Structure formats: structure tokens, C-alpha cells
């Protein structure tokens, strides 16, 4: 127990007054002799012992009355064993979870409304001179400013449930970072339904200078069926490509479900329909097929029907289909007939062939891939241009010449952190393995066919590498040497082929594997845009196009759902070798969007809500308390719904339980007892 006004304890010296009064009023009994006592028969007799006891009781009542009244003015406070009563200004941070799960109800009241009511009670527990921060899952810039008591109450009224999701540890970290800018007593409150999927207590780090209180809102667990994710069988597609969409569906309920409908739409046309059986608490993959029958931007979505949780029933994705892929073939000697026949007359891939002697580096721009075919020397200027081209997203294919100047090659390859050349190897060597996990071959073969015909080489340049070399082998020879490797560089990549693509050096050009290998190198040279983006992810989105030097106005426009009517100027910045889109807030909600330049569509990108909110299991106050104990977070408090009003709870937690009312009451009772004892004496 402590006293918030200890100077008043000096008043305890006043307890001497009743003692002094008692001493001066103490009377000794004297013997008086009467000759006749008949007239004293009606007088009440009183012994000396009874008189002394009454006097002592009166004195004790007076002493206690004075003592407890003095204690009442000293304002005693009952605290816990480790609790310290704080004085001065309070800095208070309140986090209201306004994610979609807060649209649930507790009885007939929405959880978000209960959360706002709890926030008001927290504010009421503090004074007008204290400072407040109100933070939500939206994490907007305006939320990181100090507010007065009136301002924070007004801001609480504006909070609404939305699509943003924030884990508990992230919310606490942001609160503590902001509170560190103040100089008062630091208090943080988290008001949430504490979903199991977002309550990452294990990741929570609590500052010892911050008093953290968790306020759980009880919510009943409920079933939910949702589209968890969508992936496609290739990074890029051309017109006529067969697409397989792998759709993952989740059943978050306790009952098995049968014939759950799943539909796939492309540009608002239904292209596939399926019905799937889903086990309780299960996750099921559904393959949905369609054919790309047009070029340009394709808005896709997969949807199901589920109630009452509907925000996750649709999953949006975008496909950007180029009408034509452009490439440049730089020849070092005589033309390669195999390369010419591969791309000749292909409507999806258009190539232009130039001699290395006539090479103009300005011609590199506007292409998606460049094939450097059998150049004897790779000049410094060409190496630098190719490296810049790859970093911006282009694909470079280097076919090593039989008479290659290894020094110039190695200087160029060093820019890419690619394998180096280390001498020629003569004699026939067969291939041992094909990297079928690489995207070039992922959709070429049905299953893992062990009878695939692999090439052999009769004359090639050996590749060497160090631990820091960025290399992925595509075709490996039986002696352990690499025949074809790929190295990522910025947004693009470098393919290195160790031998010329001619009959006298390899039989690769006569095999079926030659066409998909070289063709996919060209087709996949277009940097794939993100299939979809999830709201709440902190990383920016890498765009396909380069909008840093766009002459017209760049805008982002929402195209679906059908009734979409939203447009804004996006935050697109040049970062490294590409353009990055920084997503602000939740845009206009989930859906398909397009990036336009002066009204002309350039590429599509889709946004989806986080599926963390789709898992409708909640911890509750008991589960939350157990987790805090498991991770030894004893400095965190949990408010239970059955306890006293929140403002009273906070005042007692922050300032202790005030006992001055009890002291005043006891003091008044002692005065009443003293009066009663005096009156009894008077009657006697």
C-alpha cells in the first residue's frame, strides 16, 4: 500500500489531542460519608472499573476517528506486489482491430461496435491532459499523431471494418515505436477478436517501459469455405496456349462438404466449372483448364458461394498476353540455319538478325531477348549493354563460338556472376541429366519420362564456377560438366550454351528437345507480371512495363467486378532495373486493375484480401492468458469480459485501488461510536 498524498500523514500528530483531553478529564473517585442513603436509592451505581473502560473506549474512538480521517486525506492506494503508482502525463496508444473478422457479432452487436465502445471506456479512464494515439489495421499516416481526449473520441466514431489485416505482434511493435517518441507514462491497449491465425504471441516483443493490456472480444467460431490461392502452370502465355489453373480451396468448418461449386471466369466469361468435395478442416486442389484465345490483358477470377463470410469467396488474377515477342540475333559468323528456321514465320516471336560488325547498341531497346551467336570476342561495350538489358528484364542467350576468346568472354560473364570458360574439351560426351524443374521444361513433358533423348557434344568449352556463382544447370554431361546453364541477373537472365548450335559440334539441333528449349527461352523472356497481390504485404509490386519515362499520365483503373468505378494515379517509382508499384492502403478493394498511359491499357494486376482473416477460430480470454503464460509475458494484462467496467479496471491497474473512501467511512463510524458512548454516559 502506498499514499498518493503522503504529506497529509503529518496530521497524525492530531491523535494526541484525544489523549490529552482524556487525561485532563480523568477524575478520581472520593469517598463521601452520608448518614442516610435512602434518597440515593434511585441513582444508578457505577463502579470505578466501568467508568475507566468507558473512558478508554471514548478515547480510542476519538483516536481512530482522527487517524482514519487523516489517512483519507493522504489517499492510500492498494497495489500489487510489483505495481508502481505512476504520476504525471500519460501517453496512451489504442489499437482497434478493424479487419473483416470484426464484422462478426456477439449476440446482436457487431464486434467492431463493441471494440469502439471499449476504446471509449479506455479514453474515459484518463484525464483531459493526457495524449492519445488511435491505430487500426489500416495503418494510415494520420494514425501516427498525438490526439487530445476530444479528438480521439471523435476519431473512434469514424472507425469501420475493412479489408486490412495486421498481426498482433505487428500492431504492438508499431504502438511501442510510436510511444517511444513521448515522454510520459506509456500505456498500450489492443482491442481485437484475437483470431488464432493473426495472434502471433510468439513473435511479440514487449518493451518493459510500456504497460500492455489485451482486450479480447468474445466471438464464436464459425465455418467458412474460401478460395485460398490460384497458380498457373507457366509464367507467361501466348495466344493459343493451354492453361491449367491450380485452385486451392479450404473448408474451415467442422463438417465434410460435398459438391461445392467452383467457377473460373476470364474477362467476365465463364471458362470452367467444377464441383468439389471438401473434408472438414481440409484443403483441396482443383485443376481448371482453359485456352488463351486472345491477346492483351485478361482479367481472371475464381469464385465459390459461401455464407455468411463472403469477402474471400473470390480470388482475382491477371494474365498479360503479348501479341508478339521481339528478339535480336547477333551473328558472329555465317548465319545459323537452325535458329532461322526455328523463328521463321512464327507469329508469336519475331526476330531480326544482324552481324556483330554492323551491331548498333541502340537496337537493343525494344526487344525482349537477344541471342549472341558464336561471337569470337565479346567487347566491353557489348558486355555492358547486354548486362543492362538483362537487369531491366531481358533475356540474353550466349552461344559460345568454337574459337571464342575466353578472356573477353570471362570478363563479360563476370558482370553476370555466371560460370567462366576454362578451355576446350574435344571428344564425344553424352548428356546425363535434364533439369525438368526449370520453367523451360515444366510443361513440355507429360510426367517424368526417362526415355527423353538427350544431346551429346563433340567439342565444347568447359564451364567453371565458384561458390558465389549464380548458376542453375539445365543440361549436364556425364563427366559432370554443364552444357547449358542459366544465371539470373536483375529482372532478366543469361543462358550460356557451351558449344555452337551446329551439326559438327552437337546433335542437339536435330533432337525434339531443341525446339522447346530455344523457343521457351524466347517466349519466357517477357518478364511475367505478378499474378496477384495481397493487400497488407509490405513489399512493392514489380511491374512489367517501364513507366519512369512515360510521356503521358499513368493511372490505375479498376475493371472488375462489373460495377467497378475507381481510378487513381499510382505510386510507381524506378527502382534498380525496373518499375515498382507501392500499394497505398487497400486501393478500392479486391478486384482486377489495369495500368493505363493516356487511357491506353499497358498491363493488368489483381489484388486480393489476405486469407489470414478467413480462418474463423478465436483464442478467447482464457486461451490468450494461457499463451501469455506459455511465452512468459507476465507484464501483459488480459481483460476478461466478466470483470468490472473497463475504465474502472484501468484506473485500478494504473493507479491501484483507492482506499480513501473506506478510511473516511471508518473515521465517521468512529465519530458515531464516540457520540454514542458519550450519550450513554450522559444518561447514566
Instruction: Report the alpha-carbon distance of residue 215 to residue 116 in Å, rounded.
Output: 12
Q: Which of the residue ranges 17-31, 176-190, 256-270 would you say has the lowest mean pLDDT?
A: 17-31
Give pLDDT, residue 582. 79
pTM, two decimals, is 0.73
Each residue of 133-190: pLDDT tens digit?
Answer: 999 998 888 899 999 999 999 999 999 988 888 899 999 999 999 999 888 899 999 9
56 vs 198, more confident:
198
pLDDT at 259 over 50: yes
Written in H, E and C, the secondary structure of 40-51 is HCCCCCCCHHHH
Alpha-carbon distances of 560 from 261, 588, 604, rounded to whole Å: 21, 11, 11
Cell of 224: 467458412
Q: What is the CA radius of gyration of the chain?
A: 41
Give pLDDT, residue 67. 82
Each residue of 591-607: pLDDT tens digit?
Answer: 999 888 888 888 888 98
Instruction: Report the alpha-carbon distance of residue 99 to residue 193 in Å, rounded.
Output: 10
Q: In 3D, which of 176, 119, 198, 115 has the Cα closest to residue 627?
A: 198
Residue in this structure with the C-alpha cell 506509456, named with its chain if needed:
186
Q: Are 576 and 503 in contact (CB under 8 A)?
A: no
Edge-to-edge strand order for the sheet containing 296-303? 269-278, 257-266, 296-303, 314-321
Whole-number mean pLDDT of the chain?
Answer: 84
pLDDT at 354 over 50: yes
Give pLDDT, residue 667. 81
Q: How confident is the model at residue 32 (pLDDT cuts 50, 70, 90)?
A: low
Q: How confident is the model at residue 537 (pLDDT cuts 50, 70, 90)?
A: low
Each residue of 434-450: pLDDT tens digit?
Answer: 998 888 887 777 655 55
Give pLDDT, residue 154. 95
What is the pairing mode between strands 541-542 and 472-477?
Answer: unpaired
Half-sphere exposure of residue 135: CA atoms within 13 angstroms, side-chain side: 27
DSSP state of 358: G
Average pLDDT over residues 532-538: 72
Helix axes 111-124, 646-655, angle to 10 degrees: 40
pLDDT at 586 over 80: no
Instruction: Report the alpha-carbon distance of residue 603 to residue 298 in Å, rounded.
Output: 9
pLDDT at 47 over 60: no
Q: Beta strands of 435-563 (E only): which ranges?
A: 456-464, 472-477, 482-489, 492-497, 533-534, 541-542, 554-560
Query: Exposure of 393 by Cβ count < 10 A (0-12 exposed, 13-18 middle, 19+ buried)?
Result: buried
Give pLDDT, residue 81. 43
pLDDT at 53 over 80: no
Instruction: Report the alpha-carbon distance of residue 416 to residue 68 in Å, rounded.
Output: 84
Decide: helix, strand or coil at residue 650: helix
Alpha-carbon distances of 113 from 97, 184, 627, rounded to whole Å: 11, 29, 26
pLDDT at 96 over 90: yes
* CB contact burial 175-196 (16+ within 10 A = b; e otherwise): bbebbeebeebbbbbbbbbbbe
Residue in this structure with the C-alpha cell 504525471, named with its chain if needed:
88
Q: How confident is the model at residue 29 (pLDDT cuts 50, 70, 90)?
A: low
Q: Are 487 and 358 in contact (CB under 8 A)?
A: no
Residue in this structure with the C-alpha cell 451505581, named with its chain if needed:
45
Give pLDDT, residue 676. 82
Average pLDDT over residues 30-38: 59
Give pLDDT, residue 576. 63
DSSP state of 38: G
Query: For residue 261, what are the β-bridge partners?
Result: 275
Each residue of 489-517: pLDDT tens digit?
Answer: 988 899 999 999 999 999 999 998 999 99
- Three-point CA angle 451, 244, 556, nearest 5°: 135
Give pLDDT, residue 189. 95
pLDDT at 37 over 70: no
Q: Which of the residue ranges 77-81, 106-110, 618-622 would you say has the lowest mean pLDDT?
A: 77-81
Give pLDDT, residue 27. 52
Decide: helix, strand or coil at residue 368: coil
Average pLDDT over residues 236-248: 88
Amino acid at each position: 500500500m502506498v499514499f498518493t498524498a503522503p504529506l497529509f500523514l503529518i496530521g497524525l500528530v492530531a491523535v494526541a489531542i484525544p489523549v490529552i483531553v482524556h487525561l485532563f478529564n480523568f477524575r478520581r473517585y472520593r469517598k463521601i460519608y452520608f448518614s442516610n442513603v435512602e434518597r440515593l436509592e434511585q441513582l444508578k451505581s457505577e463502579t470505578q472499573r466501568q467508568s475507566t473502560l468507558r473512558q478508554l473506549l471514548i478515547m480510542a474512538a476519538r483516536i481512530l476517528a482522527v487517524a482514519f480521517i487523516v489517512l483519507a486525506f493522504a489517499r492510500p492506494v492498494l497495489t500489487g506486489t510489483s505495481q508502481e503508482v505512476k504520476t504525471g502525463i500519460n501517453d496512451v496508444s489504442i489499437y482497434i482491430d478493424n479487419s473483416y473478422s470484426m464484422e462478426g457479432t456477439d449476440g446482436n452487436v457487431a464486434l467492431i461496435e463493441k471494440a469502439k465502445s471499449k476504446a471509449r471506456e479506455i479514453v474515459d479512464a484518463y484525464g483531459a491532459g493526457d495524449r492519445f494515439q488511435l491505430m487500426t489495421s489500416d495503418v494510415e499516416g494520420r494514425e501516427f499523431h498525438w490526439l487530445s481526449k476530444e479528438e480521439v473520441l471523435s476519431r473512434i466514431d469514424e472507425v469501420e471494418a475493412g479489408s486490412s489485416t495486421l498481426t498482433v505482434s505487428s500492431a504492438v511493435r508499431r504502438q511501442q515505436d510510436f510511444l517511444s517518441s513521448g515522454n510520459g507514462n506509456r500505456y498500450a491497449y489492443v482491442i481485437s477478436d484475437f483470431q488464432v491465425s493473426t495472434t502471433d504471441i510468439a513473435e511479440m516483443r514487449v518493451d518493459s517501459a510500456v504497460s500492455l493490456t489485451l482486450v479480447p472480444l468474445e466471438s464464436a467460431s464459425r465455418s467458412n469455405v474460401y478460395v485460398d490461392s490460384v497458380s498457373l502452370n507457366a509464367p507467361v502465355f501466348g495466344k493459343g496456349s493451354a492453361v491449367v489453373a491450380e485452385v486451392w480451396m479450404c473448408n474451415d468448418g467442422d463438417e465434410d462438404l460435398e459438391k461445392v461449386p467452383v467457377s473460373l471466369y476470364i474477362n467476365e466469361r465463364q471458362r470452367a466449372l467444377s464441383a468439389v468435395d471438401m473434408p472438414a478442416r481440409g484443403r483441396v486442389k482443383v485443376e481448371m483448364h482453359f485456352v488463351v484465345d486472345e491477346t492483351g490483358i485478361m482479367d481472371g477470377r475464381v469464385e465459390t458461394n459461401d455464407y455468411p463470410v463472403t469477402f474471400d469467396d473470390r480470388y482475382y488474377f491477371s494474365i498479360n498476353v503479348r501479341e508478339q515477342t521481339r528478339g535480336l540475333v547477333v551473328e558472329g559468323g555465317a548465319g545459323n540455319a537452325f535458329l532461322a528456321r526455328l523463328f521463321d514465320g512464327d507469329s508469336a516471336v519475331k526476330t531480326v538478325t544482324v552481324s556483330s560488325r554492323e551491331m548498333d547498341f541502340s537496337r537493343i531497346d525494344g526487344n525482349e531477348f537477344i541471342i549472341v551467336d558464336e561471337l569470337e570476342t565479346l567487347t566491353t561495350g557489348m558486355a555492358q549493354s547486354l548486362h543492362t538489358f538483362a537487369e531491366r528484364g531481358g533475356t540474353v542467350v550466349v552461344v559460345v563460338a568454337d574459337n571464342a576468346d575466353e578472356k573477353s568472354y570471362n570478363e563479360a560473364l563476370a558482370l553476370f556472376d555466371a560460370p567462366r570458360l576454362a578451355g576446350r574439351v574435344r571428344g564425344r560426351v553424352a548428356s546425363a541429366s535434364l533439369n525438368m524443374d526449370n520453367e523451360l521444361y515444366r510443361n513440355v513433358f507429360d510426367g517424368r519420362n526417362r526415355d527423353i533423348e538427350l544431346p551429346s557434344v563433340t567439342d565444347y568449352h568447359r564451364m567453371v564456377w565458384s561458390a558465389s556463382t549464380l548458376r542453375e544447370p539445365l543440361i549436364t554431361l556425364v563427366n559432370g560438366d554443364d552444357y547449358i546453364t542459366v544465371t539470373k541477373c536483375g529482372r532478366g537472365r543469361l543462358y550460356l550454351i557451351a558449344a555452337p548450335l551446329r551439326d559438327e559440334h552437337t546433335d542437339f539441333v536435330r533432337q525434339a528437345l531443341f525446339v522447346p528449349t530455344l523457343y521457351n527461352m524466347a517466349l519466357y523472356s517477357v518478364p511475367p507480371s505478378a499474378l496477384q497481390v495481397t493487400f497488407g504485404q509490405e513489399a512493392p509490386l514489380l511491374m512489367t512495363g517501364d513507366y519512369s519515362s512515360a510521356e503521358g499520365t499513368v493511372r490505375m483503373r479498376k475493371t472488375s467486378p462489373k460495377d467497378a468505378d475507381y481510378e487513381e494515379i499510382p505510386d510507381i517509382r524506378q527502382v534498380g532495373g525496373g518499375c515498382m508499384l507501392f500499394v497505398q492502403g487497400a486501393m478500392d478493394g479486391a478486384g482486377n486493375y489495369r495500368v493505363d498511359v493516356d487511357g491506353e491499357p499497358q498491363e493488368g494486376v489483381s489484388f486480393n484480401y489476405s486469407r489470414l482473416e478467413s480462418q474463423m477460430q478465436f483464442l478467447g480470454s482464457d486461451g490468450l492468458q494461457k499463451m501469455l503464460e506459455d511465452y512468459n509475458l507476465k507484464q501483459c494484462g488480459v481483460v476478461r469480459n466478466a470483470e468490472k467496467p473497463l475504465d474502472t479496471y484501468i484506473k485500478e491497474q494504473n493507479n491501484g485501488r483507492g482506499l480513501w473512501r473506506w478510511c473516511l467511512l471508518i473515521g465517521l463510524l468512529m465519530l458515531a461510536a464516540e457520540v454514542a458512548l458519550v450519550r450513554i454516559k450522559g444518561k447514566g
